[in-house]
Structure 1
Amino acid sequence: MASASAVIEISASAEQVWQLVGGFNSLPDWLPMIVKSEAGEGGRLRHLQTQDGTVIVERLEVFDNAGKTYSYSITEGPFPVTDYLATVLVEAHGTGARVTWSGRFTPAGISEAEAQSLFTGVYQGGLDALRGNFPD
């Protein structure tokens, strides 16, 4: 099983950051590549649409509001991996917040290094976009 992660520090409180990212269906609010998110199954499923029309379906596996973290799996999407499980975690860090987005997965048809590079890029790009919502 392969893994990837990205970490970013944001000069806003962990509570402010969690308020934006903590809603499982809130990706369009902070991630420009996701233009639409429709909740299903009482909020445990999200049907995402990207700017180019790609559909990704993700399932909320674990949600901990007090711990400011959630984990989700991908049930449908274009990614060349199986057994995908990712976690978003927001922590207080000094006067700001540290956000970690990480995942583990089994590459399917690509090398472990290619899969790690793909998701490291997704996570880092997403966290960079998130930080853009909190100007210094």
Structure 2
Amino acid sequence: MATASASVRIPVSADTVWALVGGFLSLPDWLPFIAQSVSDEGGRIRHLTTEDGAKISERLETYDNQARTYSYSITEGPLPVTGYLATLKVRADGERAAVVQWSSIFTANGVSDAEAEALIQGVYDSGLEALKGKF
């Protein structure tokens, strides 16, 4: 099983960060290469469209607003992985800062573990840097 994980410290409160990232459909608000997120199945599925037109469908697996975390799986998409399960967490780091962690486990499909990990890691690293730039 392959893994990827990234985190970033943002100098605003965890509640402020969660207000931006905590909605399951909010990816286009902070992740630059996601152009659209459309809800399905009462909000349990999000159909994403990337800026280059690729389609990705993800299922919300767990959601805890109080703990500021959710987990999701990819059900369809162009990534060379199967069994993808990711978690996004926001935790307080003092009163005026937050740490956002994005991590996942998955199985590489058609590429090596190292190639799949590098691809997902790149998404996480660039995504969290973009998120930090929103504040």
Q: Which bin holds the TM-score, normalised by the shorter protein?
A: over 0.9
Query: Matched residues, percent identical?
Result: 61
Question: What is the DSSP-based 3-state SS (H/G/I as helix, E as strand, rest coil) of the residue aligned with 1:20?
Answer: helix
Equivalence for 1:58: 58
* Deviation of 1:118 (Å): 0.7
Equivalent residues in 2 for 1:47-126, closer than 5 Å = 47-94=47-94, 95-126=96-127
TM-score (norm 1): 0.97
Which of structure 1's runs of 4+ aligned residues deviate more than 2 A? Answer: none
In structure 1, how many angstroms separate the alpha carbons of the residues matched to 2:126 and 2:104? 14
In structure 2, how many angstroms separate the alpha carbons of the residues matched to 1:131 and 1:88? 14
* Deviation of 1:132 (Å): 0.8
* Deviation of 1:107 (Å): 0.5
Paired residue type of 1:24: F
TM-score (norm 2): 0.98
Paired residue type of 2:118: S
Structure 2: gaps spanning 5 or more residues: none
List per-residue Cα deviations over 1:59-114 (Å, max 9, x = no partner): 00000001100000000100111000000000001230000000000001111111
Structure 1: gaps spanning 5 or more residues: none
- Count of residues in correspondence between the two structures: 134
